[in-house]
Chain A
Amino acid sequence: MSPALDVVTLSRLQFGLTAMYHFLFVPLTLGLAILLVVMESVYVMTGRVIWRQMTQFWGTLFGINFALGVATGITMEFQFGMNWAYYSHYVGDIFGTPLAIEGLMAFFLEASFIGLFFFGWDRLSKIGHLIVTCLVALGSNLSALWILIANAWMQYPVGARFNPDTMRMEVANFKAVLFNPVAQDKFVHTVSAGYVTGSIFVAAISAYYLLRERHMEIAKRSMAVAASFGLASALSVVVLGDESGYTAGANQKMKIAAIEAMWETEKAPASFTLFGIPNETTHHTDYALRMPWVLGLIATRSLSGQLPGIIPLVNDAKARVESGLTAYKALQRIRRDGTDEAARDALAANGRNLGYALLLKRQRADIENATPDEIAKAAWTTVPAVLPLFWSFRVMVGLGFFFIGLFAVTFYFVSVRKIERIRPLLWVILCALPLPWIAAELGWFVSEVGRQPWVIEGVLPTFLAVSSLSAANVVTTLIGFVLFYSTLLAVDLYLMVKTVRHGPGPLPPHAAAPARVLPVAAE
């Protein structure tokens, strides 16, 4: 392993770790914010104090999570400039815009109103406070939207063009960046996953109270809200995840082929490999258990649409490397003589493949002299790690279906008002607490590792995006981040557990008794 690779690997590890830490907090913020709106809306509509108390209790947990989530998110923004300086220059014109809007619009909205949420209970009217809670939820969801617009552009870089004079990608069509189909799919899929996380969190803590027979009235109502909202969210997350996969199938064919360990193009409609052990040396999936037609129907939504396999896609990549070399040579000429119109025409014609030629930089500096073997080798680097992608995706999807079943059963028992008596189910709900986080982290793993070797799909290889830091620098900060973030996580868990153990406190007299017959969720 060369020293350069060390820095790349370490920088990736550092960003991956900080991002995964950050995403421990984000989905819970997204989910709890909406659940707070639901609970407070019931309070405003019914006037029942118990719903206000519920909102305040879950709001406290939301606040702990929010504060630590912000702390872990800030460092990521700085990493772009510090560890990924070439990336920041090369695509900062596009990538920086949604990040700036996220900070100025969504985060400021969320951060401004969160204070009013906590301290405004006795200073604002009921409706006024509900509006504040809605704005906090809106801010957190808008924040996710802008971040995912930025991330989606890394997956599917639309609305931008390379400027050989500034040596960077520049915005050509901001509307295309904004309405990137990948962004839309990623946004709805990610926020739905957040809603599932929030629902499991509320359901698991409510299950804990029901098992311990503490705070029964609040726990039953919280369970009702979590089960109904969670069921809708779990169904959404699977449907929208399918849509996200469909979009990726159109724009990131190699990622889909790797996730499915589909080495060769199958006759349409392709089969889905339920189980198997992809062998990246022999290019074969051992012990494969296949379901005929399923993948073709899911990924192309037709009986005739073909999904290309990894090996044919590698062959396509070879042609793109060769075309990219033409663009590369044209770029060299433009940099020597900016008035060379023939070179500009050649770059315009082959520019979409420039990134593929840059993959050769891993092997030699003077890539214009690359041999056919080196071109073939570069083409094979476009295949991401198949085995971890294959299994991460399957575990994530399996968990998604498990959540649907869990919420459906819970919703049934909540509806027939027997949930507190089904103790095995309560134990399952409690034990399911970490699962949405595992699913969400695996989802990001599939998304980001599946994009490799690109930091911007087809445009900029990851190894060219990293700053010229020393390995020692990156190792030092990596250790610092791990220590700092572990401390934050320990503080988060300590505060959460302390708050849950303390519970929402005693109910005011007659707060729990229904004044009239109400639906179970509003009772």
Chain B
Amino acid sequence: MILMPLMRLPRTQLGRELLIAVTVKLTIIGLAALFLFGPHQRPQIDAHKVEMRIIGNSTAPDEAPSHQE
């Protein structure tokens, strides 16, 4: 009930166009974050992994998929 006034479409054309543009942008960014660059897609690096890369014996950085890094 409290959100009802906020859910009404803006009265002016400019307001409606702005709402549509912002909604489309947020949707695209949300989907991109979910499927392209979110934490699950990003390689997770910590001190131990850097140690393995620098001091450890592995020099081939090509085997593990990014999310398993």
Question: How many residues of chain A have a CB within 8 Å of chain B?
Answer: 37
Tell which of B37, B45, B57 touches A88, judged by Cβ atoms closer than 8 Å.
B45
| A7–B63 alpha-carbon span in the complex (Å) | 10
CB of B66 within 8 A of CB of A82, answer yes
CB distance from B8 to the nearest CB of A (A): 24
CB distance from A456 to the nearest CB of B (A): 13
CB of B50 within 8 A of CB of A468, answer no
Is A18 among interface residues, defined by CB-CB distance under 8 A?
no
Chain B: CB-nearest residue to A8: B61
Which residues of chain B in 20-69 are interfacial with respect to chain A, using CB atoms and an 8 Å cutoff?
36-37, 41-47, 49-51, 53-66, 69
Q: Chain B residues with Cβ under 8 A from A85's Cβ?
A: 42-45, 66, 69
Main secondary structure of the interface of A (DSSP, over half): helix
| A3–B61 alpha-carbon span in the complex (Å) | 9
CB of B65 within 8 A of CB of A86, answer no
CB distance from B39 to the nearest CB of A (A): 10
Q: A71-92, CB under 8 A of B: which get 1 and which 0?
A: 0000000100110011011100
CB of B41 within 8 A of CB of A82, answer yes
CB of A165 within 8 A of CB of B62, answer no
CB distance from A452 to the nearest CB of B (A): 17
CB of B62 within 8 A of CB of A86, answer no
Chain B: CB-nearest residue to A87: B45
Is A469 among interface residues, defined by CB-CB distance under 8 A?
yes
CB of A166 within 8 A of CB of B47, answer yes
CB of B69 within 8 A of CB of A6, answer no
Q: A167-B50, A331-B55 are in contact. Are A467 and B66 (CB under 8 A)?
A: yes
Q: Chain A residues with Cβ under 8 A from B45's Cβ?
A: 85-86, 88-89
CB of B47 within 8 A of CB of A168, answer yes
CB of A6 within 8 A of CB of B62, answer yes
Q: A271-287, CB under 8 A of B: which get 1 and which 0?
A: 00000000000000000
Tell which of B37, B56, B66 touches A469, judged by Cβ atoms closer than 8 Å.
B66
Question: How many residues of chain B have a CB within 8 Å of chain A?
Answer: 27
Is A466 among interface residues, defined by CB-CB distance under 8 A?
yes
CB of B60 within 8 A of CB of A2, answer yes
**Which one of B41, B55, B66 has the greatest number of beta carbons of chain A within 10 Å?**
B55
Q: A467-B69, A468-B69, A471-B62 are in contact. Are A365 and B47 (CB under 8 A)?
A: no
| A361–B56 alpha-carbon span in the complex (Å) | 10
CB distance from A123 to the nearest CB of B (A): 13
CB distance from B51 to the nearest CB of A (A): 6
Q: A86-B50, A89-B50 are in contact. Are A7 and B55 (CB under 8 A)?
A: no
Q: Chain B residues with Cβ under 8 A from A7's Cβ?
A: 61-62
Tell which of A362, A468, A471 touches B43, judged by Cβ atoms closer than 8 Å.
A468
**Which one of A4, A463, A466, A471 has the greatest number of beta carbons of chain B within 10 Å?**
A4
| A167–B69 alpha-carbon span in the complex (Å) | 16
Chain B: CB-nearest residue to A467: B43
A residues sitting closer than 8 Å to B (CB atoms) are 2-4, 6-8, 78, 81-82, 85-86, 88-90, 165-168, 328, 331-332, 335, 358, 361-362, 364-366, 463-464, 466-471, 473
Can you list 17 A-B contacts with CB-CB less than 8 angstroms, sorted by A residue number?
A: A2-B60, A4-B60, A78-B37, A81-B42, A81-B43, A86-B53, A88-B45, A89-B45, A89-B49, A166-B47, A365-B56, A365-B58, A467-B66, A468-B66, A469-B43, A469-B66, A470-B63
